[in-house]
Amino acid sequence: MNYLNELNPAQRAAVEQLDGPMMVIAGAGSGKTRVLTYRVAHLINNGVDPFSILSLTFTNKAAREMKSRIGTIVGESESRNIWMGTFHSIFARILRIEADHLNYPRNFTIYDTQDTKSLLSDIIKQMGLDPKVYKPGVVYSRISSAKNNLISPEAYLQNSDVLAEDHQTGKPKLGEIYLAYKQRCFKAGAMDFDDLLFNTNVLLRKFPDILHKYQHKFRYILVDEYQDTNFSQYLIVKQLAAAHQNICVVGDDAQSIYAFRGANIQNILNFKQDYPDFGQYKLEQNYRSTQTIVNAANSIIAKNKDQIQKEVWTDNDQGSQIVVHRSYSDNEEGKFVAENIFEISTRQKKHHKDFAILYRTNAQSRSFEEALRKLNLPYRIYGGLSFYQRKEIKDLLAYFRLSANHKDEEAFKRVINYPGRGIGKTTIEKLVIAAGDHNVSLWEVITNPGTYRTGVNNSTQAKLNDFATMISSFASELDKQPAYEMGHLIATSTGLLKNLYDDKSPEGVGRYENIQELLNGMKNFSDQNDPDNPDRIFSLSDFLIDVALLTDADADDDDDNKISLMTIHAAKGLEFPVVYVVGLEENLFPSQLSLNSREDLEEERRLFYVALTRAEEIATLSYATTRYRWGNLTHAEPSRFIEEIDPKFLSLPTTPTPKGYSMDFTAERNKFAARHANKPSQPSAPPPGMKRATPSAANPIEASDANLIQPGNQVMHERFGKGKVLTVEGDPANKKATVFFPKVGQKQLLLRFAKLQILD
């Protein structure tokens, strides 16, 4: 029983309650995995048959680690017999045993996402529906949501509200596709991941003898991360626990961040209603973070109304204040974080693996990847591919490469039929054979059809001609236009941008955002200055040379000593000595989509709480005052979450922002509050969070607001020097000024990009 001495009083109490329902509220860093592990070991040491213990986790890694730790206490032979694993793995196991009750073969296939989308594509085609309207990703999302809410296709087709919603979105046949999908899966003896939970519910509901069997088999049930369970998972657990009610759920309502996947925080908040005689244990001692980080996290999560009250505390060192860093742009933010990591790792002798950069969306990784590479700092993207290795990015870059070099065969094969233009695999195979036979490029083959006999019919050759004409038109302008202009032209003209925009599934939206982030980076690249050649255009060819090093994949190695880059969702359950929470701006974090209801905003606040509590020793909060969005430079306000932290735990920015602005943090927040109270802001206001400095020749101001520029103004331009404004014309969003510069002559400038400084 020595293992019990390793527990604090709250942990030990939770481990020692053997029978009855119980809920363990485990604050961040409070040792919940240890409690789960020791509780299972304690049950076995008190005579409970390991075969009668069901322990449900959300990752296979967690299950493996827990089993291993239990084995060191009770022996591997005992730990091996525990029913421990993820919801999907455990219930797939049960479904294989009971498959004949549902008329499935015991060796049924489990379809992954690609299998599902491929089958849906086939069904959509056979039904004669427009695949641009019924995108497989969108349809899959809809079916998945229905299954997680235990809505069968038959019930779906009888639900007038659901059908009305489908009609409103222009997809009235979704229910019929769902039914056909179910029938095709059944005919193929296959289930998808959602079916594993859906069909388990069907099994337990339709066959009382099966329910009775497993209710009495699993006398003790433990559920990790209970706050992340959806309705389907909740109902399975409730049914299985009904006979003995020896159910132990562990979780933290303050870390419920998966509503977009169907997780329902009410499952943990309403546990006492399902089990009125439950025992509740609160693990409030944090073993991970400094006192400053713990107290700051407490002050932010206290703003949520829907929560189980607890006061997380720690005996760890006080620690330093949390630094709030303000950058002028997202690129500058990336540079700051990279340089700060270099400084801390050098000064404090920390390993690269001690650092993590956490962001709200995957698309934000670009500026940090570029900055880390420039300092030769190794990093690893978690929960997703490196930004430049994502398919949609590689697709657009392939168009760029082919436009610059028509002989680039890999780029050619990647984009010849994407987006789809009716050039199939058979045609491509014929082209490859002809090119190989004559030792010429694929481009040479398609642009000289009379010379190379490919066997391609006239209709297909016409499509090849159109493709070649399009690429040639890009090539003719390649070095005449800035990189951003050309990049946007290619993304639009090829149909790639529209193809991604039309996909409204979460994955599709993410891919579209990634393309926009690439274009944002190209805008920054185009806007740079060459002091030796003020008139130089930074073209797409220049960009390709610059980005080549960034897209060169790192060699695989076993070295895990790398800086971690990941979304906050991917970081849940992890911890790092040094954490940077970046992009803390209104409409980015919290997301603009979360501002419609208190429930959504509280989930965003819980997400921020998760981010902050990943840090052990040092936490830095970062935001930019300007950020490119959709190719436009926009001004950003710091996230409300910064202000919601008790300021005594923060080190706020005090240094002046470039271009003659100075920060007034309180004024910045007041302005934000006024805006959200529907008070209109003044059209001539400076960028959010900044006070306009007094203009003078020695202290110029940046005229980011086009209304400040008037004919007759003396101005300063970064590239062209001093000049005089002759005329101003156009609507406020697209105002242009004609300016005479003594050094270079007359120039017409788009004011929102010109960065002019007024000198008088």
Dist CA 369 CA 338 (whole Å): 9
C-beta of residue 688 within 8 angstroms of C-beta of residue 672: yes
Q: Kind and range of the H or E element at 37?
A: helix 32-45
Task: Give how far Cα 723 sits from Cα of 528, 660, 711, Å.
Answer: 20, 19, 11
Looking at 98, 192, 195, 225, which residue is catalytic? 225
- Tell me the C-alpha distance between 691 and 329, whole Å: 17
Which residues have C-beta within 8 Å of that of residue 569, sequence separation ≥ 6? 257, 258, 383, 607
- Name the phi and psi angles at 626, rounded to 5: -135, 145
Catalytic residue among 614, 627, 671, 719: 614
Asked about 421 being catalytic, the answer comes back as: no
Give yes or no for a cis peptide into 680 (omega within 30° of 0).
no
Tokens for 261, please give them: 């996947």
Q: Catalytic annotation on 255?
A: yes
C-alpha to C-alpha distance for 150 and 169, rounded to whole angstroms: 22
Asked if residues 42 and 4 have their Cβ atoms less than 8 Å apart, the reply is: yes
- How far, in Å, CA of 131 to CA of 129, rounded? 6
> Is 325:650 a contact under the CB 8 Å cutoff?
no
Considering the candidates 11, 116, 255, 613, report the single residue annotated as catalytic. 255
* Residue 91 to residues 94, 101, 185, 202, 234, Cα–Cα distance (Å): 5, 14, 18, 12, 13
Separation CA 458–CA 429 (nearest Å):
17
Q: Cβ neighbours of residue 422 under 8 Å, at least 6 residues apart? A: 460, 463
| 359: three-class secondary structure by DSSP | strand
The terminus-to-terminus CA distance of the chain in angstroms comes to 81
With contact defined as beta carbons under 8 Å apart, do 718 and 529 qualify? yes
225 catalytic? Reply is yes
Helix (H) or strand (E) holding 86: strand 83-86
Q: Identify whether 427 is a catalytic site residue.
A: no
- Catalytic member of 32, 39, 147, 182: 32
For residue 16, indicate whether it is catalytic.
Answer: no
727 by DSSP, 3-state: which? Answer: strand
For residue 401, what are its two tokens? Answer: 């490469």
Residue 158 annotated in active site: no
Q: From the candidates 78, 98, 224, 585, give the one annotated as an active-site residue.
A: 224
Q: Which position among 17, 33, 113, 291 bears the catalytic label? A: 33
φ/ψ (deg, to 5) at 555: -65, 140
- Is the CB of residue 606 less than 8 Å from the CB of residue 568? no
Q: Catalytic residue numbers? A: 32-33, 224-225, 255, 614
